[in-house]
Amino acid sequence: MRVLIVFYSMYGHIYKMAQAIAEGAREVPGAEVVLRRVPETLSEEILGMMGALEAQKSMASIPVCKVNELAGADAIIFGTPTRFGNMCGQMRQFLDATGELWAKGALVGKVGSVFTSSATQHGGQESTILSFHTTLLHQGMIIVGLPYAFAGQMRIDEITGGSPYGASTIAGGKGERMPSDNEMASARYQGKHVAQIAAKLTR
């Protein structure tokens, strides 16, 4: 059973969450977990102006995803930072290249799940995940979120990401906050939960 984690991360927050998602998925016996980045669409110059070059170097060892790799997975967990309450353009461009897979029904019946990151607490995490789900439904995927069985999303004693729609982290206005222990735990839970469901569907 193959779990593919496909993400874009500009400053490393989603990358860190993706690693926790992978850890959780690997806990499920028989799960083969693969991490992939979507192709960059911005030039080095623009990335430099955005202060993203250091973080990009830290992710350079993660292979860039080819669209056809989606067809070989049983579950796909997508990670994207919020951009104006939606997925980032890099992810949109990648998904817009999946028309041939859609035409063949290649993703129908696969498990799909989404996690995200935003600068601010109410900056659009839920809208990013829910609007992402639209694309997954068009592809015929079975959507899995982060159930309240992960009790960490009920916390009010500290600021935290995480909703029934999926794991998330709050990065701060300058990207100064990295995922908290609770947010990392939510990502591990989502990874494991998705893999467990995929294992049942592929039995």
Ligand X SMILES: Cc1cc2nc3c(=O)[nH]c(=O)nc-3n(C[C@H](O)[C@H](O)[C@H](O)COP(=O)(O)O)c2cc1C
Q: Does residue 175 bind ligand X (CB under 6 A)?
A: yes
Considering only residues 1, 5, 6, 12, which one is a binding residue for ligand X as defined by CB under 6 A? 12
Considering only residues 56, 90, 98, 118, which one is a binding residue for ligand X as defined by CB under 6 A? 118
Considering only residues 3, 11, 24, 162, which one is a binding residue for ligand X as defined by CB under 6 A? 11
- Taking 3-state DSSP, the helix, strand and coil percentages for the chain, each rounded to the nearest 5, stand at 40, 20, 40
C-alpha dihedral sign at 149, 151, 154, 158:
negative
In whole angstroms, the minimum distance from the beta carbon of 85 to ligand X comes to 5
Q: Does residue 10 bind ligand X (CB under 6 A)?
A: yes
Q: Does residue 190 bind ligand X (CB under 6 A)?
A: no
Are the C-beta atoms of 21 and 191 separated by less than 8 Å?
yes
Q: Does residue 186 bind ligand X (CB under 6 A)?
A: no
**DSSP tag of 169:** E
In whole angstroms, the minimum distance from the beta carbon of 181 to ligand X comes to 18
Question: For the chain, how big is the Rg over CA atoms in Å?
Answer: 16
Can you say whether residue 138 is alpha, beta or left, with left for phi > 0 and alpha for psi between -120 and 50 degrees?
Answer: alpha
Our CB check for ligand X shows the closer of 43 and 203 to be: 43
User: Using CA atoms, how far apart are residues 140 and 112, in angstroms rounded to an integer?
Assistant: 9
Q: Does residue 117 bind ligand X (CB under 6 A)?
A: yes
In whole angstroms, the minimum distance from the beta carbon of 58 to ligand X comes to 11
Of the candidates 170, 144, 184, which has an alpha carbon nearest to the alpha carbon of residue 18?
184
Binding site for ligand X (CB under 6 A): 9-14, 81-85, 117-120, 123-124, 171, 175
